[in-house]
Structure 1
């Protein structure tokens, strides 16, 4: 339970590199909305981006500052400007959401006697001593949030001498289960998205929604779908079309080599992912390195779609193997093929039962409301400690 505090209108400041599309950015907006809904003041500082106007419309105070900078020679100037903003806003809590902002903001907040929070979103395993030093700045905050048990385990393994496991709170990213709800997607939206994606009218669709990055598993998925040897199955790579020509042509060449050429669709990212999910029979998340969380799995689950992922990283927490999806041996094409086949072979009755289980699981453990509630509890506990 959160502690009670006596601060009349607390001011919560979130600091992140930029405000464009992404899980970090979306989470920042959702927390700002929850802060305002509680009657507190929300302040967001970044280097700018597409979501600034949305924050302003909801009543947040938005400031633009190059807090994304990794150049330590610029930090004194940025810290001076940040100090002015924090003083002017009357900040009570400073919440950093990335490493560069942590290096810039945490010393300023400490000097001003402000409570601090950090959220660790990314892969946190250090590649060398310099990276270890750079990463661990996030652990200097009064309260540390990890977005998954997987990230918490990395902190415990590599940074135990800097932050005890008990002092790290897991708060999973939340999905908007109103937006991501099959009942809320109109037939018109589904038709519009189907036309954009140029999907065949018959057959099954395996979808991978992901950035055009090699570790997201596009190639291993092409091999696995080709190994199914099912002419009625189309592989849809949403977001891969945003990649450079070399990336796209590499996928096309692999499809030709494996015999999947006529059944591969490479598309740009969607502005209506709920509608896109409705077009898929199976959602794949075959990331070849562990996902820190894996937003696709929870969004797909909220839409009642079976998810097939590799058995590592955040997917282990969001996908219930054999109940809401399948977890294949990491980077094993044969086992991925087996899992895809199991998902595609579901009867209509089995699919309906899985959809119900998957959505209930996401609502219970991975909703936006739960994420906001747990984060607000951390804020309230810090505010109580500050009020004395």
Structure 2
């Protein structure tokens, strides 16, 4: 059996995780209340929607409390209940009032578990859970900055869960290093990819051609892509500087993402492209509504974040799409990517190191690229799928419901 046949078999035979039941002994559903600031389009919000669907699939009842947003309609279609609450507010008086609102909601809906996914709503959610005697879960999505005592106190609420979910080993290490948390309370649940959408087998040639025509990139030239909103810590400037060390190669680069109102930074990047003589080689694209096709267009995917990410979606999405990934050597990327097997790491913020990694990725021969592609897909299928994330989180709920409730 060839390497590629073996790896294809491994991918196709990846086990589908089973959701534990969220039904009580008397047949009634276990009710889970997730509390988030809003239900817009970010990673936390999408994870909340995914979990609401999983709760319902496991036989439970899903409620989400937030200030609202564009994903509320999808919550309702999935069969979840949305309760509008100013959960985004950091105003002390509003947060205090939210405690009472949440306690009332818990009692009226018979909530069995409260799950806070962000700092602002976590404190009133914690008080309400303790007031009503139901288990409290938190998910820590990132290594929060600690500038002073107040910031440390503000962040600490995310470590007060009866179980604290960490989205990576890196975030788990951050929690244990900076806060007094019993290791027995921490559960690592990696953020999950939608491998039904992010799969090279589900993207048609028509979609790829359509996007290619829309972007009007040079024909037949390898594409380096950095997906991510235009904000400085995402490292777009590092990649542009790296391109100056690759002038001997025929390639082009796409920075894909919205500036979200950061016009000054976008203007800086456009000026940088001119100043570094990268016009015709580097392009800024706005948000793309077909990212799987964007990955298929790419020859190398870059994650150049200068601040360590708890779990960068780009790293896993790129691997899921079978693309070589070049990423900063810190944060969650170090556990998502297998160096020299599914991608390449470079020294954080170092443009020359980034250029060397890109050169290695572009230098793969056809067989090396195929093996790397299949290993990347296998890794995501085994460790970083949405189904696995949901099953592990439902397992946390199941564990808490069957344990003695906190005093």
Query: What is the TM-score when the length of structure 2 is the normalising length?
Result: 0.91
Residue 80 (1) aligns with residue 129 (2)? no
Q: How do 1:1-388 and structure 2 match up within 5 A?
A: 6=25, 8-159=28-179, 161=180, 163-230=181-248, 232-240=250-258, 242-386=260-404
Secondary structure in 2 matching 1:43: strand
Q: Does the CA contact (< 8 Å) of 1:241 and 1:266 recur in 2?
A: no
Secondary structure in 1 matching 2:187: strand
Cα distance, 1:195 vs structure 2: 2.4
Cα distance, 1:232 vs structure 2: 2.0
Cα distance, 1:165 vs structure 2: 2.6
Cα distance, 1:264 vs structure 2: 1.1
Give the Cα separation in 2 of the matches to 1:201 and 1:317. Answer: 35
Secondary structure in 2 matching 1:183: coil
Give the Cα separation in 2 of the matches to 1:116 and 1:242. Answer: 34
Secondary structure in 2 matching 1:228: coil
Give the Cα separation in 1 of the matches to 2:266 and 2:29. Answer: 51
1:330–1:117 CA distance, 2 compared to 1 (3 A): same
Cα distance, 1:171 vs structure 2: 0.6
Count of aligned residue pairs for this structure pair: 386
CA-based RMSD of the aligned residues comes to 1.8
Give the Cα separation in 2 of the matches to 1:78 and 1:93. Answer: 17
Secondary structure in 1 matching 2:345: strand
Give the Cα separation in 1 of the matches to 2:104 and 2:21. Answer: 30
**Which runs of structure 1 show a deviation greater than 6 angstroms over 4 or more consecutive aligned residues?**
1-4
Residues 143-178 of structure 1, C-alpha deviations (whole Å, 9 max, x = no match) = 10011111111111110x2x1233211110000111
Q: Structure 2 unaligned runs (5+)?
A: 1-17
Q: Structure 1 unaligned runs (5+)?
A: none
Query: What is the TM-score when the length of structure 1 is the normalising length?
Result: 0.96
Cα distance, 1:387 vs structure 2: 7.8
Give the Cα separation in 2 of the matches to 1:105 and 1:345. Answer: 52
